[in-house]
Structure 1
Amino acid sequence: MTLENYLLKKYKKSSLNPYLCSIRKYFNFIQNRAETATYQDILEYVGHLRKNENLQPKTIKHYLLNVKIYYYYLIEIGKRNDHPCSELYLKDKINRQIAVDTLYTPETLENFLNDTHKDKILQRRNQVIISLLIYQGLTVGEICNLQIEDINLEKAEIYIKSSDKKKSRTLPLQAKQILLFLNYLKEDYPKLIQHIVSEKPIKTLITGKLKEEVRPNVLNRMINDHREKSQQLQPIKIRQSVIANLLKKENDTRIVQVFAGHKRASTTILYKQTELEILQNAINLYHPIREI
């Protein structure tokens, strides 16, 4: 059984490439010692990630998890009878605080919708993506998983399926989105999928010209490939901004929690500014302290 077959057997198909990419990263470091690596070898790999890769603790933990999966695979196929790092757990502190004071205002978010891609078909597709970011605050993963059937233009609603970290929910579409989605699906979508070869009918809302399945990192590149580096959009920051701005307007945290799909209210609270932060931001905006 190959590593790829093992991953397909144990995990979702959509996770295959991310897992393989992460494990190959480990192979590049460990070279020909992968099958016989020791606990110390893996500690060296973790040390390398911490020192040279400038990664967040959460990302390093994710890389270690994929290394563990690789050794479970070797045990499964009989190449090892021990696991060198099954009991290795990292204690790097993950900073979960949201830097609310650096997020986008509603006015700035609205300006993002003015996408200027030179390809008019791609421009409208990108506007659909950006509208889902700035109005519904969706993650790039949620946008990639949207099906055409999840969009109900008659009811002006969109259904977002549940995932490992998010609850399912139905959100209203904004008035601006109705005509945008209608034109995209009627005029642009048929042109985008006309050259795609697929045994099954194409149902995903967002697609490229040559490939049916769009992954989160590809979607991020779609909306930024024609922008200057300083003008590139950050989907995670947009989502955080939408949630934080809604919290400013909405007293009921539970409503915002449902909107965002958070499974825990404590996650939603991270986006809430304290009265002191609001006062400090106002001072910085209207009475900035300048060095003389």
Structure 2
Amino acid sequence: MNLEIYLKSHLQESTAKSYYYHINKFRLQNRNTEHYSYKKVMQYIEELRKNYPANTLRGILFALKKYYEYLIETGIRKDNPTQSIKFRDAKETPIQHQDLFTDKELQELLEPRKERYPFLTLRNRIIISLLVYQAPTSGELTELEVNAIDLEKATIEIKPTALTNNRILPLKAEQILLLYKYINTDRNALKTHREDKNMLLLGKLGTPIQIEDIIYLISTYQKRYTKKLTSTTIRQSVITNLLSKGNDLRMVQTFAGHKHLDTTEKYKQTGIKALQSAIDKHHPLR
């Protein structure tokens, strides 16, 4: 049994696809991974930690665990070097309020710009608008299917993950126009290259986008800001701004897809606490 068939026989299709991608990347970037020790796997994980949030690393680790389970089942090795690896920080990234973005700063991301690949202009605008208006995680973005969009009702359905609940959120008027054109024109042009399996957001080769594509796209906006811009800081900023405007805590919980109310409560912070956080981080004696 090859790896792809093994994953599909043990996991849901979307999960199998994601795991297969991360395992292949792991094998391409490293030699003799089938004989890796615990130490070698941890070195790889620690290298990824420099560029990926904890939630993304958690998904990659699960993929590697499944890879070594496959090697055991096929008789290639007898032990699983990832068995005892756990992430204590595999949860919502701690909120540093002084590093978040105002509504005005987030709106600047929506301004049209010249793209390196003109045929991806509309897709990129949609990705950014979804991040700014609906605040999905990068993983949720990669799992969006075309049928998640209901243009008549002006809604988008975001599927549940291990950390977030399913939710249906309203679309802005400008998003409806962008999505209509993209789905009926730009996406159709992209999907002729390869099978896309009904995924909404496609790359330049017609295959579904990956988290790495979102990371790269957001990085191209970084020069506009001194604060670190990531999908996580955008999401945290949107949620924090909603709460600062006095929106009901449970409404914001539903919007964000948080499984527990205390997760949403972490985004609430008084002005004094925000000032203290800034002092703690930037005081010259620290």
TM over 0.5: yes
Secondary structure at the counterpart of residue 158 of structure 1 = strand
Give the number of aligned pairs: 271
How far is the alpha carbon of 1:104 from its aligned partner?
Answer: 0.7
Q: CA–CA distance in 1 between the matches of 2:48 and 2:175?
A: 40
Q: CA, structure 1 residues 134+62, in 2 after alignment: closer, same or farther (shift >3 Å)?
A: closer
Question: How do residues 176-187 of structure 1 correspond to structure 2 at under 5 angstroms?
Answer: 176-187=174-185
What's the CA shift for 1:234?
Answer: 1.9
Q: How does 1:25-64 map to 2 (within 5 A)?
A: 28=31, 31=32, 34-35=34-35, 41-42=37-38, 44-45=39-40, 48=43, 55=50, 58=54
> What is the one-letter code of the residue matched to 2:236?
Q
2:270 paired with 1:267? no
Identity of aligned residues (%): 35
Q: What do residues 36-91 of structure 1 show as CA deviations (whole Å, max 9, x unaligned)?
A: x6xxx42x3366458766648947776665554344323312344x4354763457
Q: Which letter maps to 1:171?
A: L
- Aligned runs of 1:268-287 on 2, under 5 Å? 268-278=264-274
Instruction: Give the deviation of 1:257 after TM superposition.
Output: 0.9
Measure the CA separation in 2 of the matches of 1:134 and 1:191: 26
Give the CA deviation at 1:267: 1.9
SS at match of 2:139: helix
What is the Cα deviation at residue 107 of structure 1?
0.4
Q: Deviations over 1:181-229 (max 9, x none)?
A: 2333344333333x4243x8x63322234213222212333455xx375
| Corresponding residue number in structure 2 for 1:135 | 133
Which residue of 2 is the match for residue 230 of structure 1? 223
Query: Corresponding residue for 2:114?
Result: 117
Cα separation, 2, equivalents of 1:61 and 1:209: 27
In structure 2, relative to structure 1, the CA distance for the partners of 1:57 and 1:170 (3 Å cut) is closer
Q: For the Cα contact (< 8 Å) 2:252–2:264, is it kept in 1?
A: yes
CA 1:249–1:2 in structure 2 vs 1: closer, same or farther (change >3 Å)? same
**What is the CA–CA distance in structure 1 between the aligned matches of 2:160 and 2:44, rounded to whole Å?**
32
Query: Of residues 154, 158, 161 in structure 2, which corresponds to 1:160?
Result: 158
Alignment of 1:17 onto 2:21: yes
**Secondary structure, counterpart of 1:254 in structure 2:** helix
Counterpart of 1:262, as a letter, is H
CA distance in 2, matches of 1:129, 1:53: 23
Q: Who wins on radius of gyration, i.e. which is larger?
A: 1
| CA–CA distance in structure 2, aligned partners of residues 91 and 158 of structure 1 | 31
Match of 2:169 among 164, 171, 183: 171
- The verdict on how the C-alpha distance between 1:278 and 1:266 changes in structure 2, with shifts beyond 3 A counting, is same
List alignment gaps of at least 5 residues for structure 2: none
Question: Match of 1:103?
Answer: 100
Is the 8 Å Cα contact of residues 97 and 274 (structure 2) preserved in structure 1?
A: no
- The Cα RMSD (Å) is 3.7
2:7 match: 7
Over 3 Å counting, the alpha-carbon distance change for 1:22 and 1:111 in structure 2 is same
Aligned 8 A contact 2:100 2:234 in 1: yes
Aligned partner letter, 1:240: Q
Contact 1:254 1:265 in 2 (8 A): yes
TM-score of the pair, normalised by structure 1: 0.75
Amino acid at match of 2:267: Y
Matches of 2:283 and 2:68, distance apart in 1? 56
- TM-score, normalised on structure 2? 0.76
